[in-house]
Amino acid sequence: MVRLETDRLILRPPTLDDFDAWATMTADEETMRFMGGVMPRALTWRAMMTMIGSWHAVGFAMFSVIEKSSGRWVGRLGPWYPEAWPGTEVGWAIVKDCWGKGYATEGATAAGDWAFDTLGWTEMIHSIDPGNLASQQVARKLGSINRGRGQLPAPFQDSVVDIWGQSREEWHARRTTAGV
């Protein structure tokens, strides 16, 4: 089982024990504003099972994010590359009461390292709604730049997204320059 640790977080594949917290997050209107809207529990179940299935089928998907200090599930983030997606993505969603703590950046940095170094990715993108200023800030902190408007596959084809991203070389150069 893959397990990544940062100073404050544990990243691990999702389990059934995460479902109630995951469903609470996806039922929150503000949290889901830029991710297709509120999801009922039944749809959240399917989405979570997709992540769990992806771990088994292709060896990666988004991680459950666990806060070390409390043991609490606080979000999901990590590598994601479904059929017809515009690129190899590292995405994030953190529960609202943990916004502003830097968890998305901290976790996405660990997930980006893992995607480039273990999965062998050559690029990393983030599909971000143009109105999602907080996620744009996370992308900037990761060293990504806005590459312009992107197109998601059906059934998300009507979503307006900008594709932020960087190459493996840019990622490693930034990490080396920053002394990380």
In Å, how far from its chain's centre is CA 59?
16
pLDDT of residue 148: 98
Cβ contact 32:21 at 8 Å: no
Beta bridge partners of 128: 162
Whether the predicted pLDDT of 93 surpasses 80: yes
Summarize the confidence of residues 134-144 as an average pLDDT.
98
- pLDDT band (50, 70, 90) for residue 109: very high
Higher pLDDT, 114 or 174: 114
CA atoms of 107 and 163, how far apart (whole Å): 19
Mean pLDDT of all residues in the chain? 96
Summarize the confidence of residues 80-101 as an average pLDDT.
97
Integer CA distances (angstroms), 177 to 100, 143, 148, 172, 180, in order: 25, 11, 26, 8, 8
- Domains identified in the chain, total number: 1
Cβ contact 12:79 at 8 Å: no
For residue range 3-17, what is the model confidence (pLDDT) as tens digits?
999 999 999 999 999
Which residue range(s) make up the domain with 111? 4-177
Q: Look-up: residue for tokens 């390292």?
A: 113
The CATH number of whichever domain residue 35 belongs to comes to 3.40.630.30
Higher pLDDT, 115 or 176: 115
Summarize the confidence of residues 58-69 as an average pLDDT.
98
pLDDT of residue 180: 61
